[in-house]
Structure formats: C-alpha cells, structure tokens
Structure 1
C-alpha cells in the first residue's frame, strides 16, 4: 500500500476540522477526495504532508510519517500541489521547474525532466525563459504540477487543479493526471468538478463534516443518489 491514513484528526486552534479520517491509496491509483467546500479535504492533504499538525496514523510505503517535517516527507517521495498555485513570480519558468528537483537530484535522472515537461506542455516550453509572473492562470497551474513532478514523487496530492480554469485547460489537466498514473505514480486528487473526478479516478472518497461518509468506485457513487444529494450537490 502506498498511503494509509487511519483515524486522522486535525485542528485549527480549537476548531476540530478532521474528525477521524480513514483512507488509503494503492500503487498507481488515482483516488479522488470529494465534498463541498469547508469539509476538510484540503486540510487532509495538509495534515498528510505535515503542514497542519496531524493526530492519528499516516503511513507512506509502510513508514510512519505523522509528525515529520513537510520537507522530510517530500524527500521520501510524497509530492504536494497546493490549491493556491505557489510559484516564484520573479523567476523564469525553467528556474521554477529546476527548483522542484530534490537535493542531489539531477535533471533527467527521474521519470520527469525539463524536456518531458516542455514536450507535454508546449506553452511552458515557449515561455521557458520568461518570468513566471506573466503566465496565464492555466499555465501557472501546469507549472506548479510540473515543478512537483520534477522531484520524481511516488505519490502526488493535487488540490483543486482545475479551479478557475477554462474548459480547454481543464481537459489538459485531466490528460496530465492520466499521464501521471501511466507512469506508475499514485495520485490523491481533491477536485470540485465531479465529472472530471469520476472520469479519471479508480476510487473516490466523499467527505462531510470532517470525516469520510462514502468510499467506493465512481460507478458505485453514481448509483448512490442519497450520497450525492446530501454531500455533493449544491
């Protein structure tokens, strides 16, 4: 098992945000974490990667990582693409990508390289030596995903990658997620667009009020009108 989360709790001050989350991801799986805004999906990712203090068990490839520093967890092979598309605006696209390499790692020694990224995303290649501040929203999203991939993670958590993107760019993001899975990388996808998540995911979890209220395949979720109506539909 790539990732196993058991009885995960997390707090913001006195606010009890995660209330016993259980989930797991197998090697090469795309797993979607669904739910309305504010139910704890992003906090789950932050607790796993160590940005929010976790209480409970988080094992990555059999190793307990709960309580470790975020940079130590990343070096173990767990990548994280936050929702806010953090880039270094004063650096070029190429420089941003190079910053994704782990200490001692050389470009081209993993499953991804600068050449691979520029082949996959022609726009990034065309703007390789342009400051990242002038990239479009979709290009910045691609850059954040690609920068994380440059570190050659075995599992990547991606938070709301299609938020605010044009339909054409949404389809590009979906294609990238499929390519990631083809290369044997597990994915935990936090996504608001149900159709995208259902199309590319092997399994889905639905969260409500800080805990998992459904686990199953996309086909099983399609057959659960009660779950969709209570926990997903607006």
Structure 2
C-alpha cells in the first residue's frame, strides 16, 4: 500500500547543524502515528521538513508526489496541515476570523463543510468539537487561555480540509482536562479519515491513541512499531525516552 506521507533517507539542517540523519517513516491514510524522543532528537525538525520550513534533502512524498523543495503554502494546498507548537494565532482578530483565515481559496463554509460536501469541515463543526470556541467566537484570540488557543489553532488547520495533519507538541503546558480534549480531538480526526503525525512528549497519550510509533534519537529512527511493542521494550524507553 502506498503511504500517504513517506520519508526516505531524509536529512535536515539548520545552517551547518545536521539534525536529521537519514530518517525513514510512513504514515498511511486514516492513521495516527506518533513521533517520540527527547528534546533535540529531531522530532519537530521532521515535521518542519515535510512543510518546507527547513533545509532538507532525501525524499519526502505526500500522496505519492515528491514535495521536497516546495514552499510551505504549496505543501498546504496539497492537503498537508500543520499545527506548530508555538500556537500561533492572530491575536487581534476574533476566534471566528481566525477560523475563516484557515479556509482554502474558494472554500465556503456551510452545512457539512466545503461546498455543502459531507467530506469537508465548516465553522459549525469546529464549534461542535470545541464548544468553548463557540462561546468565545467574538472575542479576540489574543485573550484566550493557552488551552483555548491550542484548540483554535487545531480547528483553524482543519478548516483547510487537510488529508493529513502534522501536530507538534499539542499538549505542552496544558491542564490535564485540556490534554484529554486534545487527545479526543485527534481521535475524532482519525474517525473522519484524516491521518495524523503527532509529535508528543507525553508517552501515555501517544500509546493510547496511536496505531504506530517512531522514536528518534540523535536524528535517526531508533525504534518503530505498535504501542504494544514499545510498552514491551524497556531498553528503548529507558535509553531514548525516559528522563
């Protein structure tokens, strides 16, 4: 089966700093895959390489098409969504205006999503997923809590109707209740057929919602397998994940 997203021998750099060293990974349609590892292992760099945000070489394919070398907006228009760990919102715009900015050119929100299709997403869908955003619809995004801003960025990305979403550290610094909401949100995406590549430090969340996991260590893949495989592999967890 052809992977929706595929890395083959990917190297990535920040200037002279060689961060990723020959990374291979695959994400299938409708699958949640987690990318684990300690800080500095290259997890965030991997998703930035897919989005064209860092210098990279090797092969990165999305939907069978080589996307390495494309600009971020070109990658996004092909159906790859990106939720950065920085939770970037437009602070002086309202919640609803932020959501509208996530729409693709020519997209009009309405019942069921794009152009009335049941395959798309609309603002009403976002408010059903996160009722708190509906309550804050007319508020400026800059006054939202960290958890509310994370919800908004997740939903704004969905408004572009991606086939796969790259989600970088979505639960960092959030209260346990909000962390659980985020996990449920990612599962809801999968149930709608959207694939997720999740960069996460909370091992419990990754093990709970992922079908497969990769562990990065010093820029290379040191483990790949199912959650049960990682639970059973004490050596990998001790050497590459646990503090």
Q: Which TM-score applies when normalising by structure 2?
A: 0.95
Structure 1 contact 155–187 (Cα < 8 Å) conserved:
yes
Question: Which among 54, 57, 62 is matched to residue 56 of structure 2?
Answer: 54
> 1:156 aligns to what SS in structure 2?
strand
Give matches, 1:10-29, under 5 Å: 10-29=12-31
Counterparts of 2:91 and 2:28, CA distance in 1 = 35
Structure 1 contact 58–65 (Cα < 8 Å) conserved:
yes
Structure 1 residue 162 corresponds to structure 2 residue 162 = no
Give matches, 1:153-192, under 5 Å: 153-192=162-201
Structure 1 residue 150 corresponds to structure 2 residue 159 = yes
1:163-195 deviation per Cα after TM superposition (whole angstroms, max 9, x unaligned):
000000000000000000000000000000000
Structure 2 residues without counterparts, runs of 5 or longer: none
Structure 1 residues without counterparts, runs of 5 or longer: none
Structure 1 contact 25–31 (Cα < 8 Å) conserved:
yes
Aligned Cα root-mean-square deviation (Å): 0.6
Q: CA deviation at 1:103?
A: 1.0
Q: CA deviation at 1:13?
A: 1.2
Counterparts of 1:53 and 1:141, CA distance in 2 = 27
Structure 1 residue 67 corresponds to structure 2 residue 69 = yes
Structure 1 contact 89–133 (Cα < 8 Å) conserved:
yes
Structure 1 residue 37 corresponds to structure 2 residue 39 = yes
Structure 1 residue 229 corresponds to structure 2 residue 238 = yes
Q: CA deviation at 1:111?
A: 2.2
Counterparts of 1:119 and 1:213, CA distance in 2 = 39
Q: CA deviation at 1:72?
A: 0.3
Structure 2 contact 14–55 (Cα < 8 Å) conserved:
no
Q: CA deviation at 1:71?
A: 0.2
> 1:54 aligns to what SS in structure 2?
strand
Question: Which among 201, 204, 209 is matched to residue 200 of structure 1?
Answer: 209
Counterparts of 2:27 and 2:239, CA distance in 1 = 25
Counterparts of 2:160 and 2:167, CA distance in 1 = 14
Q: Which position in structure 2 is the counterpart of 1:129?
A: 138
**Matched residues, number:** 234
Q: CA deviation at 1:207?
A: 0.3
Q: Which position in structure 2 is the counterpart of 1:2?
A: 4
Counterparts of 2:128 and 2:214, CA distance in 1 = 33
